Structure 1
Amino acid sequence: MAGARLETDVVVAGGGPVGLALARDLGRRGVRTLVLEASDGTVTRPRTATVGPRSMELLRRWGLAGRVRAAGWPGDHPLDVAWVTALGGHEIHRLRLGTCDERPAQPWTPEPGHICPQDVLLPLLAEAVGTHPGGPLRRLCRFDAFTEHADGVTVTATDLGDGGELTVDAQYLAGCDGSSSAVREAAGIKAPDRYTTRVLRDIVFRAPRLREQLGPRAALLYFLTRPPALRFPLRALDGRELYRLLVPADGAQGLDAGALVRAAVALDTPLETLSEHVWHLTHRVASAYRAGRVLLCGDAAHTLSPSGGLGLDIGLADAADLGWKLAGTVAGWAGPGLLDSYDTERRPVAEAGLEVARTHLVRTLRRELPAALLLDSAEGKQARAELAEQLSGSEVRREFDCPDVHFGHRYTSPLVVPDAPERNPGPAADDRRPRGRDAWRGEALPGGRAPHVWLADGTSTLDLFGPAFHLLRFTESVRLTAFTAAFARRHVPLTTTRCPDRRVAACYGRPYVLVRPDGHVAWRGGELPFDAGTLADRLRGAR
């Protein structure tokens, strides 16, 4: 590739889960994309494991949810969270969350969360993007720098295989290159620490007989309550033999990884330490998500505590928001405000997620762990009972079972039209719909995720959304032709569905609901507007 020069629409720097998800979204919208990834794609330190329900919905849209579910996590493995003195030691408290095979269906989503470690998820995404020679994904290709000019960016990269230089001309550059983002630095965007950085030891080990020996005591996640160092989670990675242990670097000085693993596991079982890394837990949100033709996505834009498992979910939702906006801009139908809205809509979500995750982390850090917890005596039994009472009376369940966090955020931006007072709210009027924090469960609120309802043909309402703006109609209007023509004149993609289902109408709350390509509600009303062009211009960022 020495001295090669290429031309594309969007360069994505970083081939992790978020960069590949963005490339997948762009590719399905017909946008030419080149992904530059410095590694060879091998995951030596699997981090992400829990894929939240909203992320699974996005993977469903990208045609990958089924493959994630079939990727190997055992359907009978408990998804429980347990607080223990050690694996096989005293159990203090347990959240019973069932198994993937047996947990009840959730009425608000067709895609409950799933377990898929990064070393499994990444190859699935890479294959979907395209790994063939000359394809969109270029591994062992390091982003070096960019220059911006009036009609695009020029990116320079190095082929780490032969040392040659690659030059790429593109319209936009998306930085998906992680928490130490070279793109963010080159763009001059700051991402200051919001809280003190914590240094952790990240240990992966193999225990091939552990699950069998634990039997009904097995869990997905174990919070160790072994003072002073073992208070962070130990989690099952593959549901079979791989586990991950986090230990504060300053709380276990002098103990090697093997000794820490043996302290965390009370059973006589074979243990093999596979790797240890130093990990810096940071809390950052970039000061801006856009600088000209450069946009940040995923960990390049935000890093937060893994408590609650929100990092990947926020990153994939970044990709879903940015994808359609970049596609509209490349296609020429977007107004100048469309890409600006990416920052307006997504940065508050990251800031809120950071605080939620921080709350969970602080709860773990401040939990008192008296030495008596480890005693096989009446004193130890009493200490464990007191901690169990504290845990059962706290909000620890919200760290692992919080659908409002995954589904409840609503965008506030010029691209979202608030509800106007309705003289006739139509067939959806229903005082039994959830209100307040849980309103997302039963109503298509402007700025919010369009709700899931099963349709008569076995598909979900969510399956209607994605390629274009989509107008759901629960009644007829003489203004429909003018409405669709206004979008067509502006080349804004629009599809419509006449839905006779009263259950869907009751959930969506108005006779007409317009859903954006990212699945969020843009507008709804009791009648289509007289001036549909004004609405179309607002939604494409031209007003």
Structure 2
Amino acid sequence: MTGSDHETDVLIIGAGPVGMALALDLTYRNVPCTVVDSGDGRVRHPKVSTIGARSMELFRRWGVAQRIRQAGWPPDHPLDIAWVTQVGGHEIYRYERGTAADRPEFLHTPEPDQVCPAHWLNPLLLEELTGRDGCDVRLLHRLDSFTQDDNAVTAHVTDLTSGLPLTVRARYLVACDGASSQVRRACGIEAPYRYETQEFRNVLFKAPDLAGKLTAMGLRTAMVYFLLRSASLRFPMRSLDGAGLYNLVVSGATASHDAGALVRETIAVDVPVEVLSDGAWHLTQRIADRYRHGRVLLAGDAAHTLSPSGGFGMNTGIADAADLGWKLAALLSGWAGPAMLDSYDLERRPVAVRNLEAANANLTRTTGQVLPADLHADTAAGKQARARMADRLRNGGARREFDAPEIHFGYRYSSPLVLGERVELTPGWRPGSDPGYRAAHAWLRPGTSTLDVFGRGFTLLCFHPEAAPYGLERAFRDRGVPLSVLVCRDEKIAALYGHPYVLVRPDDHVAWRGHRPPDDPLELVDAVRGAA
């Protein structure tokens, strides 16, 4: 952007992971976009660390999954979750998850989850976007105000380095500006609290000798330690880099406690500790009443804030970006119907509601644990108390916080853009071709997933032994809607998908399936492009 005026197709407010994910999707679709953020791009207190498998699938599409895997997390570091009285003290229960190098191949995804905290992820994504045509990233630029008319949004921005004003004219504006979203408030969109706000502290610290000390004691390290110490020390201590950087979550009731003392109470072994930062934060669980105000849309924390329990928040936001990106591209290309943009709220808002409830259930499971007085005791009674606690954790769903494929994959979109029978997959989740769900992953050949052939436009998978339905191809062509056809002769994949014809949207979700071609191909095309 040069000068005092600038035009773009999509203006994204906020250069966090969700804003940059949307920019990645838009540039993948050759849609020019501009990203504005008042910060300088530095992450001073990283909190998010695990990128879910569905998000990694999307990063695979956008060409950055491998860079994320190579960002720094040691492939031989255990991904285990351990519930302990103290780190290096009594271990009560462990969920063994192997390491990134030795865990079994995931059958339902080509891209398992990956540890990549924000101080690695954000600069990586920023570097990717800076090198891509069609994306203009402006850090240290503040959105002051905006207006919209029937054709565009006009945003007034200040360059915080020079103090000069900038006017940006965009076809659409997407707010990815966080939980206290300025854009959401300016649109008059409410985001009511669904549960009582709670206060916590994040203590970022270094303990580079801790892992070595634990190993020398014959103890297996973990990625996350859940403390069962006290009412305030019962939250996770998480390794952020596998090499001595940790984040400790503590109840806000400890506001007057010294951060170093809290860390020393958390760790049972004597190792040097350096506290890097200590900040209070408020856990809010809110969902915006609506995700759209004319040409302004909300995504990520601007649309929903979840408990971090389970790590669903950022991943929900990245899925927002994947849903919204192709729809904006369709509108800007001229083939989308009037219902296209409304479907964003219809599809994504129920997912946020569901994920918020799942995250809150995880939080409640943690805060609701009753800690027996003798849980820490080196006595027979203490041993019995720890055994009972282990049974409660094992049988009480503690693993669900870290093994939740139904959260990452098992959501169904219900909107006019999805046709076919309603299939509710309860309990749990299974891959397949059910309308509204993410289409199943399967290996077409070594290194190439079914998901790798989706994305640019609609994809028609044909498992029928005869020729593809050319009437449907012609209907897509007549409406100007991009379609590719893949004829698949693999019997196992055909059995997985279950229908000879499966139409997959640009975001991997199934739009329609049938045992025979549609009676009216144009009617089908108009429905999936939002023009029915």
Q: TM-score range by the shorter chain?
A: over 0.9
Output the amino acid matched with 1:503: K
SS of the counterpart of 1:40?
Answer: coil
Aligned match for 1:521, one of 501, 506, 510: 510
Aligned equivalent of 1:233:
236
SS of the counterpart of 1:418?
Answer: coil
Output the amino acid matched with 1:357: A
Aligned equivalent of 2:127:
127
Q: Which is worse superposed, 322-331 or 363-372?
A: 363-372
Pairwise CA distance, 1:376: 2.3
Aligned equivalent of 1:158:
158
SS of the counterpart of 1:374?
Answer: coil
Pairwise CA distance, 1:397: 1.0
SS of the counterpart of 1:8?
Answer: strand
SS of the counterpart of 1:392?
Answer: helix
> Aligned equivalents of 2:384 and 2:516: distance in 1?
64
Aligned match for 2:462, one of 453, 457, 473: 473
Output the amino acid matched with 2:27: G
Pairwise CA distance, 1:126: 1.1
Contact kept in structure 2, 1:88 and 1:217, CA below 8 Å: no
* 1:460 to 2:463 alignment: no
Aligned equivalent of 1:35:
35
Aligned match for 2:222, one of 219, 238, 242: 219
> Aligned equivalents of 2:471 and 2:139: distance in 1?
48
Aligned match for 1:440, one of 430, 443, 446: 430
* 1:317 to 2:324 alignment: no
Pairwise CA distance, 1:288: 0.2
Aligned equivalent of 2:252:
249
Contact kept in structure 2, 1:155 and 1:167, CA below 8 Å: yes
Output the amino acid matched with 1:255: H
Aligned equivalent of 2:69:
69
Q: Please report the TM-score for the alignment, with normalisation by the length of structure 1.
A: 0.94
Q: Which is worse superposed, 515-524 or 160-169?
A: 160-169
Post-superposition CA distance 1:24-77 (Å, at most 9, x none): 101111111000011110000101100111111111111111111111101111
> Aligned equivalents of 2:291 and 2:188: distance in 1?
11
Aligned equivalent of 2:369:
367
Contact kept in structure 1, 2:31 and 2:134, CA below 8 Å: no
Q: 1:403/1:439 Cα in 2 relative to 1: closer, same or farther (>3 Å)? A: closer
Pairwise CA distance, 1:106: 1.3
Regions of 4+ moved over 6 Å: 131-134
* 1:305 to 2:307 alignment: yes
Contact kept in structure 2, 1:10 and 1:34, CA below 8 Å: yes
Aligned equivalent of 1:495:
484
Contact kept in structure 1, 2:460 and 2:484, CA below 8 Å: yes
Post-superposition CA distance 1:102-145 (Å, at most 9, x none): 11011111111110001111112112211699951100011121
SS of the counterpart of 2:415?
Answer: coil
Output the amino acid matched with 1:14: G
Q: 1:396/1:420 Cα in 2 relative to 1: closer, same or farther (>3 Å)? A: closer
Identity within the alignment, %:
53
SS of the counterpart of 2:340?
Answer: helix
Post-superposition CA distance 1:491-511 (Å, at most 9, x none): 111111111111111111111
SS of the counterpart of 2:430?
Answer: helix
SS of the counterpart of 1:87?
Answer: coil
> Aligned equivalents of 1:193 and 1:163: distance in 2?
36
Contact kept in structure 2, 1:446 and 1:521, CA below 8 Å: yes
Contact kept in structure 1, 2:502 and 2:514, CA below 8 Å: yes
Aligned equivalent of 1:430:
none
> Aligned equivalents of 1:288 and 1:255: distance in 2?
40
CA RMSD across the alignment:
1.8
Aligned equivalent of 1:425:
none
> Aligned equivalents of 2:284 and 2:187: distance in 1?
21
Contact kept in structure 2, 1:3 and 1:165, CA below 8 Å: no
SS of the counterpart of 1:168?
Answer: strand
* 1:6 to 2:9 alignment: no
Aligned equivalent of 2:198:
198
Q: 1:141/1:280 Cα in 2 relative to 1: closer, same or farther (>3 Å)? A: same
Q: Which is worse superposed, 327-336 or 481-490?
A: 481-490
Gaps of 5+ in 1: 422-433
SS of the counterpart of 2:382?
Answer: helix
Aligned match for 1:395, one of 394, 397, 411: 397
Output the amino acid matched with 1:463: D
Q: 1:254/1:486 Cα in 2 relative to 1: closer, same or farther (>3 Å)? A: same
Post-superposition CA distance 1:271-311 (Å, at most 9, x none): 00000111111000100000100000000000010111111
Q: Which is worse superposed, 133-142 or 43-52?
A: 133-142
Q: 1:204/1:283 Cα in 2 relative to 1: closer, same or farther (>3 Å)? A: same
> Aligned equivalents of 2:147 and 2:83: distance in 1?
52
Output the amino acid matched with 2:476: F
Contact kept in structure 1, 2:12 and 2:175, CA below 8 Å: yes
> Aligned equivalents of 1:132 and 1:107: distance in 2?
33
Aligned equivalent of 2:500:
511
Contact kept in structure 2, 1:131 and 1:138, CA below 8 Å: no
Contact kept in structure 1, 2:406 and 2:429, CA below 8 Å: no
Pairwise CA distance, 1:539: 0.5
Q: 1:492/1:208 Cα in 2 relative to 1: closer, same or farther (>3 Å)? A: same
> Aligned equivalents of 2:425 and 2:205: distance in 1?
46
Aligned equivalent of 1:427:
none
Pairwise CA distance, 1:526: 1.3
Aligned equivalent of 1:186:
186
Q: Please report the TM-score for the alignment, with normalisation by the length of structure 2.
A: 0.96
Pairwise CA distance, 1:540: 0.6
Aligned equivalent of 1:429:
none
Contact kept in structure 1, 2:203 and 2:259, CA below 8 Å: yes
Post-superposition CA distance 1:344-384 (Å, at most 9, x none): 00000000000000001011111011332222223322322
> Aligned equivalents of 1:380 and 1:166: distance in 2?
65
Contact kept in structure 1, 2:27 and 2:132, CA below 8 Å: no
Aligned equivalent of 2:342:
340
